[in-house]
């Protein structure tokens, strides 16, 4: 695999550490690895935003703040405030979790309003917005309904999972999401993607961004492929 191909794949990776007990040293290591491998973004909890923005200053690596993570159980106003605060502290990408209670209630008007307000907030700052579905708790019809709302509202990405639910990304879900939104919205696969084989399979299914804490191992494995 050529250096250009490796860099192309590295730039599809959101290098992730969302653990509640992640230390400043862990964040420094995450950002150092992101710089070494030229990953697209570091995915971190919102409170780590300023620290990672400082570590990555002067690079083209984005700081991705997770909003209402991992449960999504905050109000729309709280999510928007948290987003604005993250942006003020240096976030350059936003991943937020939808309100799954309202999905289960069939209250798609609420979900559309939430998505619209979050996307508007991000786009007013010229920043991308990713919507986390947490598919392990959803039926296929609920996934499809969320994707149809996204097709209309047009966030930059819809995302499979937080990595903290009962399951992560699946090939079937990535395909379903991509088939539903078409070219209007991109798909991010996250949760349980730890090998180069899984990484390439998710891309083949339609994912254009991969969230993983195993980015270093994946790129090192791809280096060995002819």
Report, as residue numbers or ranges, the catalytic residues: 95, 159, 188
Separation of alpha carbons 150 and 162, rounded Å: 18
Task: Give the separation between CA 118 and CA 94, rounded to whole angstroms.
Answer: 9
Tokens of residue 132, six digits: 């986390």
As a whole number of angstroms, the distance between CA 9 and CA 26 comes to 23
198: left (phi over 0), alpha (psi -120 to 50) or beta: alpha
Nearest to 60 by CA among 96, 94, 10: 10
Helix (H, G, I), strand (E, B) or coil at 213: coil
């Amino acid at each position: 695999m050529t250096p250009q191909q490796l860099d192309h794949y590295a730039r599809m990776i959101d290098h992730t550490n969302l653990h509640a007990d992640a230390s400043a040293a862990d964040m420094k290591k995450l950002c150092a690895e992101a710089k070494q491998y030229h990953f697209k973004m570091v995915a971190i909890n919102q409170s780590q935003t300023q620290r990672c923005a400082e570590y990555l200053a002067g690079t083209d690596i984005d700081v991705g703040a997770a909003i209402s993570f991992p449960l999504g159980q905050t109000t729309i106003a709280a999510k928007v405030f948290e987003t604005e605060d993250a942006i003020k502290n240096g976030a350059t990408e936003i991943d937020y979790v939808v309100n799954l209670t309202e999905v289960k209630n069939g209250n798609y008007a609420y979900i559309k309003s939430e998505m619209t307000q979050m996307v508007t907030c991000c786009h007013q700052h010229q920043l991308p917005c990713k919507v986390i579905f947490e598919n392990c708790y959803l039926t296929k019809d609920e996934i499809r309904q969320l994707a149809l709302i996204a097709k209309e509202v047009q966030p930059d990405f819809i995302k499979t999972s937080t990595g903290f639910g009962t399951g992560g990304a699946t090939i079937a879900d990535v395909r379903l999401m991509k088939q539903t939104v078409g070219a209007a919205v991109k798909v991010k696969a996250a949760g349980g993607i730890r090998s180069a084989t899984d990484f390439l399979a998710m891309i083949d299914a339609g994912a254009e961004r991969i969230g993983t804490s195993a980015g270093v191992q994946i790129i090192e494995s791809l280096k060995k492929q002819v």
